Chains A and B, each alone.
Chain A
Amino acid sequence: MLNINNLHVELEDEDKAILKGLSLTVPAGEVHAIMGPNGSGKSTMSYVLSGKGGYEVTGGTATLDGVNLLDMEPDERAAAGLFLAFQYPVEIPGVGNMTFLRTAVNCQRKARGEEELSAADFLKIIREKAKSLKIDAEMLKRPVNVGFSGGEKKRNEILQMAMLEPKMCILDETDSGLDVDAMKLVSDGVNALRDGKRSFLVITHYQRLLDHIKPDVVHIMADGRIVKSGGPDLALEVEHNGYADILAEVAA
């Protein structure tokens, strides 16, 4: 599914390398988690994969089902099946949440040569999905993320994911700013999308999220590359001992 090979990325404005030979493979249907100390490049990776400006790829490749992601515009990557749940979802005053979602769904369908959803069909589907995420009609009507609480914003991200049905979902610290109940709700939303084919890359600082969204593989990222990979136990080890031991072991 997702294949990152020896990816090198610098900040465009300053000559600063962030990703230094990142390699990672997420096969179809699997959930991989990435943990790592602050500044290790986790968010940069998610931005570079989804096509945010301000970064320069100086080497390496990233493909989704064999298609080169790095040459595409962000909307083309989305239409190809990539989705990023933002750590800080953006507020867009003046654009209704519903209008936004319908535009996004239909733009993607159009890009893939599929028929656009009618207003009625769209409404039916979104109502059902919103209900399971406890998103009410009022929240759908409001401008995108404006005045949403932290939890509402994250639930709205998952709703978008559910509506867009991507192949590859990247969740960037989706647990940050969530209370226990909200985390459960969001996790349930994610788990509902696990169908054996869809893949997930979950970036988090905390093992707790991984109790809800059970990963197949856990990667530790430090200084712009994956330094260690393992099973779910690796996350527990980080939770108990921090990163120091792992980083020391890698350095040795």
Chain B
Amino acid sequence: MKLAQAKTDAAEARVNRSDLPTGGKWANEARLAALTRLHGAGLPGRRDEYWRFTRPDDLNRADAPAADLLKTGESPVFGDLDRLKLVFVDGVLDRDQSDAMAMQHVEIETLADAAAADIHWARDIYGVLETAGQAPVERPLAALNTALAENGLVIRVTGKAPRPINLQYLRRDQCADAVVHHVIKVESGAELTLLENGPGAARLSKVAEVDIADGGIFHHVRTQGRDHQRRAHTHIFARLGKESEFKSFTLTVNGALTRNEYVITLHGDDARAHVAGACTGDGATGAFHQDDTVFIAHDAVNCESRQVYKKVLRNGATGVFQGKILVQPGAQKTDGYQISQGLLLDDDSQFLAKPELEIYADDVACSHGSTVGAIDEGAMFYLMSRGVPKSRAQELLVLAFLAEALEEIDSETIRDDIRDRLAAWVERHSG
């Protein structure tokens, strides 16, 4: 009881520092309902099973811890692609740096504009998929986001989008505490690729609710910047219709704290959901804790899901993977696959994995695997015996280890770009 009270008090403290944004009727209702969910659950605590491997303290505290701004001089990821670019600075849309919010088959507006309307289609998604994602495990920080978010985009895709949408998250203020919430609706047979890059804020809370109708396709690739001290907690809630497809890949390098959560429901028959991530962390350049927490529920027949996660950790870096496949009664012919692997380059780093399967149907194929290990000495010797110095050999083997996750990216151009950036990271952190 005492604990529950403390958690609710913490939630109060977190909310009280900012007033709830006001909007039209539907938005006000959604925000109030989210606040109620938050108060009911309280903020996450270390004793919550779901937060066993990741301390939520820095996400709970009222003010964002400062994070130095990183200047790299590097060209931005996705910069060479033909895309519609929308720029957020510290979580706020910057129209001057952005392209016009218009593209064939796509309607884009800001969350503020959509929220101001008395009636809006987003009402059926905003906070709704998040609410559905509160079971079986409470996600109070997602409810907090729904209650507080003023910024974000509301996107409706009605056909095949001719270009990807690229959301760039830049930083300006060392202490910015950003709360961003996107709503994406992919109509029947429509298709969108969403690209996200950049650190976002000193502390970024980001929720995306993605509703994919029958036959819709949603592809997503994101990189989370290279700022060492930034903290980020993201949620993607996705609901998949019949024969629809959801694919998401995340690259995380650096960052003091990252937690990326997915809650995906395969709602219609013959749907496909693939999530993948590559992560590299080096404790020598700052604290590094990265957590991928994935929940995929099969609630229809003949659906396929894949989870492929690879983490390379060194100098006291920590990687976490919590992945669950839930197969509901009647979800026959489910094909579920999950692999998570940690490569530890020293004895100081750790990889914590909790793979779970929960199956209530009898005609399914589900497999999961989780491994943690060091560089293969045999492969190392083989490379060195051919004249490759140890540090270079290690780089090759690290990239080889990550390759399987990168293979999950459909676009060869994007895959190559991300591979090159990973190679550069690995080279910088070599030896």
- A residues near B, CB below 8 A? 50-53, 73-75, 77-79, 83-84, 86, 89-95, 99-100, 103-105, 107-108, 111, 143-144, 160, 164
* Cβ of B381 under 8 Å from chain A: yes
Give residues of chain B (386-412) contacting chain A, Cβ–Cβ below 8 Å: 386-390, 392-393, 396-397, 399-404
Closest to B396 in A: A95
- B residues near A, CB below 8 A? 377-379, 381-390, 392-393, 396-397, 399-404
Hey, which chain A residues are within 8 Å of B401, CB to CB?
94
Hey, which chain B residues are within 8 Å of A78, CB to CB?
384-387
Whether the Cβ atoms of B386 and A164 lie closer than 8 Å is yes
Closest to B378 in A: A90
CB distance from A236 to the nearest CB of B (A): 32
Hey, which chain A residues are within 8 Å of B390, CB to CB?
73, 75
Main secondary structure, interface of B, reads helix
Hey, which chain B residues are within 8 Å of A77, CB to CB?
385
Which of A75, A94, A105 is close to B403, meaning CB atoms less than 8 Å apart?
A: A94
* Complex CA distance for A53 and B402, rounded to whole angstroms: 26
CB distance from B386 to the nearest CB of A (A): 4
Hey, which chain B residues are within 8 Å of A50, CB to CB?
385
CB distance from A74 to the nearest CB of B (A): 4
CB distance from B387 to the nearest CB of A (A): 4
Whether the Cβ atoms of A104 and B388 lie closer than 8 Å is yes
CB distance from A246 to the nearest CB of B (A): 32
Once A92-B397, A94-B399 are accepted as A-B contacts, the answer to whether A103 and B392 lie under 8 Å apart by CB is yes
Hey, which chain B residues are within 8 Å of A86, CB to CB?
382, 385
Whether the Cβ atoms of B396 and A103 lie closer than 8 Å is yes
Whether the Cβ atoms of B377 and A53 lie closer than 8 Å is yes
Which of A52, A89, A90, A164 is close to B387, meaning CB atoms less than 8 Å apart?
A: A164
A to B CB contacts below 8 Å, 9 in the list: A52-B381, A53-B381, A74-B381, A75-B386, A78-B385, A94-B401, A103-B392, A105-B387, A164-B386
Closest to B379 in A: A92
* Complex CA distance for A201 and B322, rounded to whole angstroms: 53
* Complex CA distance for A107 and B388, rounded to whole angstroms: 6
Which of B377, B379, B384 is close to A73, meaning CB atoms less than 8 Å apart?
A: B384
Whether the Cβ atoms of A95 and B385 lie closer than 8 Å is no
Known interface pairs A75-B386, A111-B387; 16 further A-B residue pairs with C-beta atoms within 8 A, sorted by A's residue number: A73-B390, A74-B381, A74-B385, A75-B389, A75-B390, A77-B385, A86-B382, A86-B385, A89-B382, A92-B382, A94-B400, A94-B401, A100-B383, A107-B387, A108-B386, A164-B387
Whether the Cβ atoms of A74 and B384 lie closer than 8 Å is yes
Hey, which chain B residues are within 8 Å of A95, CB to CB?
396-397, 399-400
Whether the Cβ atoms of B396 and A100 lie closer than 8 Å is yes
CB distance from B341 to the nearest CB of A (A): 12
Closest 6 CB pairs of A and B: A94-B400, A78-B387, A108-B387, A74-B384, A104-B386, A90-B382
Hey, which chain A residues are within 8 Å of B402, CB to CB?
94
CB distance from A38 to the nearest CB of B (A): 21
* Complex CA distance for A91 and B378, rounded to whole angstroms: 9
Once A160-B386, A164-B386 are accepted as A-B contacts, the answer to whether A94 and B377 lie under 8 Å apart by CB is no
Hey, which chain B residues are within 8 Å of A90, CB to CB?
378-379, 381-382
Closest to B391 in A: A75
Closest to A104 in B: B386
* Complex CA distance for A143 and B393, rounded to whole angstroms: 15
Hey, which chain A residues are within 8 Å of B381, CB to CB?
51-53, 74, 90
Closest to A79 in B: B387
* Complex CA distance for A111 and B377, rounded to whole angstroms: 22
CB distance from B395 to the nearest CB of A (A): 9
* Complex CA distance for A89 and B402, rounded to whole angstroms: 22
* Complex CA distance for A107 and B377, rounded to whole angstroms: 20
Which of A53, A75, A143 is close to B388, meaning CB atoms less than 8 Å apart?
A: A75
CB distance from B111 to the nearest CB of A (A): 41
